[in-house]
């Protein structure tokens, strides 16, 4: 008779935490120059304040889908974003995301018109979920990205 596989409690906990994130559509959104960084439900744009979701995001490493956007306002007042989406290699903890994004952050910033650029922002979604450009713009708007003081060009 074959020996039963032993219980891996750590793997069970990680699976349940990832399921919690999926259920809550949890993501991390950050904008500069204000430095605001919050947990947000990427489907409906509401801020997540649950301690369990925060622990699930911060305590374990995830594969991330990163959406980096240049936040711009045209001279006529029209708001728009220039965005790129990428999936970094490997799994990362949430506190290491800013290091992962740096190279792409500068690329997007260089593509934006410096006269229109108000700031930069990124949305990090655990897993391989791509959020549309329209949704990212709505999320940035919900946290006041276009109301920041204009970034120095």
Q: What is the pLDDT of residues 62-79, one digit of tens each?
A: 999 999 999 999 889 889
Token pair belonging to 85: 């989406």
What SS3 state is found at 47? strand
pLDDT number for residue 148? 72
Cis amide bond preceding 33, omega within 30: yes
Q: H/E element holding 70?
A: strand 64-73
pLDDT at 1: 63
Q: Are 108 and 120 in contact (CB under 8 A)?
A: yes
Tracing tokens 């919690």 back to the chain, one arrives at 20
CA angle 70, 74, 78 (to 5 degrees): 95
Q: What's the chain's average pLDDT?
A: 87
**Band of residue 152 on the pLDDT scale cut at 50, 70, 90:** very low
Q: Which two tokens stand for residue 109?
A: 């910033």
Averaged pLDDT for residues 120-126: 91
pLDDT above 60: residue 147: yes
Contacts of 48 (CB under 8 A, 6+ apart): 24, 26, 38, 39, 40, 41, 54
Residue 151 reports pLDDT greater than 90: no
């Amino acid at each position: 008779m074959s020996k039963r596989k032993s219980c891996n409690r750590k793997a069970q906990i990680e699976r349940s935490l990832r399921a919690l994130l999926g259920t809550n559509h949890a993501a991390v959104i950050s904008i500069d120059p204000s430095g605001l960084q919050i947990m947000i439900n990427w489907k409906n744009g509401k801020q997540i304040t649950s301690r369990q979701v925060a622990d699930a995001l911060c305590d374990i490493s995830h594969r991330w889908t990163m959406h980096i956007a240049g936040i711009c306002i045209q001279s006529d007042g029209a708001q728009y974003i220039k965005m790129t989406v990428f999936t970094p290699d490997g799994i990362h903890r949430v506190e290491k995301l800013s290091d992962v994004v740096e190279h792409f952050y500068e690329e997007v910033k260089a593509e934006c018109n410096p006269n229109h650029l108000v700031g930069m922002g990124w949305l990090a979604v655990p897993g391989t979920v791509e959020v549309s450009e329209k949704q990212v713009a709505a999320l940035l708007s919900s946290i006041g990205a276009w109301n920041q003081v204009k970034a120095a060009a």
